[in-house]
Copies of this chain bind each other. A is one copy, B any other.
Amino acid sequence: MMSESFYRYGVGTLSAMTDAPGPTTSVAMQDPVYVAAVVDLLAVIAYGEISAFERLAEDSKLAPSLGDKAALAGMAATEFFHFRRISGRLRELGVDPIEAMLDFVEPLDGFHERTAPSDWYESLIKAYVGEGLVADFYREIAEFLDVDTRTLIVESLDDADQASFAVARIREGIAADPRLGGRLALFGRRLMGEALSQAQRVAAERDALAGLLAGGVDRPGMDLAAIGRLFNRLTENHTNRMEKLGLHA
């Protein structure tokens, strides 16, 4: 499932201290390779958020009622404010956030094109299952980062509100039309597959980003076993989310 280059970065870390806490801010930020990786990571998260804003705003047109529309619009607005906060941090690091995001436009737009919801329920699945998966992934990576960057990322992934709204609506929809469940389960699997293949592609193309997982002489990294556990956790959380919806992952 994982590409060769993905493994390469994992295997390269002979001094890996798996699951150890990340470096402290002041020391970490003196390492230009680390800073480059953080910039890449914040940029891909930022572009993910502005494009999630766009898609959620677009999908809100599919809403069957004004209340549902407002709920999806709220998720979109929250994504935008997370984007703004991460952009601010990029500027603090002396980086133009717009320029830093450009490299991630194509892969993330590609993900959205291949997972465009065909109706209101698929847009809810994407909002809940897709965003949940992305959030899990970044939370895992954040564990390897200095405390300031970690806090920024974790806070920017907070989506408690949208989860309960989407779960309730999807369950109602399936209760009213049980055939809907099969289609949504398929869509959820497609989301998982496309997200993994995009994550791999981005990691393979961005050395700095992949290097974060590999660690450095003074920073913990992940060995192969740790990467395996990470994917297990992602899959487990995905399965849990699908089950909350009454769907098979």
Contact B76 A80 (CB under 8 A): yes
Residues of B within 8 A of A102 (CB): 66
Stretch at the interface among A4-12, A57-65, A131-139, A225-233: A57-65
Interface string of A87-119 (1 = CB under 8 A from B): 100000000001001100100000000000000
Interface majority SS (helix, strand, loop, mixed), chain A: helix
Contact A57 B53 (CB under 8 A): yes
Residues of B within 8 A of A207 (CB): none
Contact A74 B84 (CB under 8 A): yes
Contact A61 B67 (CB under 8 A): no
Bound: A171/B120 CA distance, A: 40
Contact of A83 with B by CB under 8 A: yes
Distance between A67 CB and nearest chain B CB, rounded to angstroms? 4
Bound: A84/B75 CA distance, A: 12
Contact of A247 with B by CB under 8 A: no
Contact B77 A50 (CB under 8 A): no
- Among A58, A73, A84, which residue has the most Cβ atoms of chain B within 10 A? A73
Contact A80 B84 (CB under 8 A): no
Bound: A102/B84 CA distance, A: 32
Residues of B within 8 A of A54 (CB): 57, 60-61, 69, 73
Distance between A28 CB and nearest chain B CB, rounded to angstroms? 28
Residues of B within 8 A of A69 (CB): 50, 54
Interface string of A172-213 (1 = CB under 8 A from B): 000000000000000000000000000000000000000000
Residues of B within 8 A of A66 (CB): 50, 98, 101-102, 105
Distance between A106 CB and nearest chain B CB, rounded to angstroms? 12
Bound: A5/B67 CA distance, A: 32
Which residue of the partner chain B has the closest CB to A81? Answer: B77
Which residue of the partner chain B has the closest CB to A56? Answer: B57
Contact A53 B73 (CB under 8 A): yes
Contact A70 B50 (CB under 8 A): yes
Q: Pick 28 A–B contacts, CB within 8 A, sort by A.
A: A50-B69, A50-B70, A50-B73, A53-B57, A53-B73, A53-B76, A54-B61, A54-B69, A54-B73, A57-B57, A57-B76, A58-B58, A66-B98, A66-B101, A66-B102, A66-B105, A70-B83, A70-B87, A73-B80, A73-B83, A74-B80, A76-B76, A76-B77, A76-B80, A77-B77, A77-B81, A77-B84, A81-B81
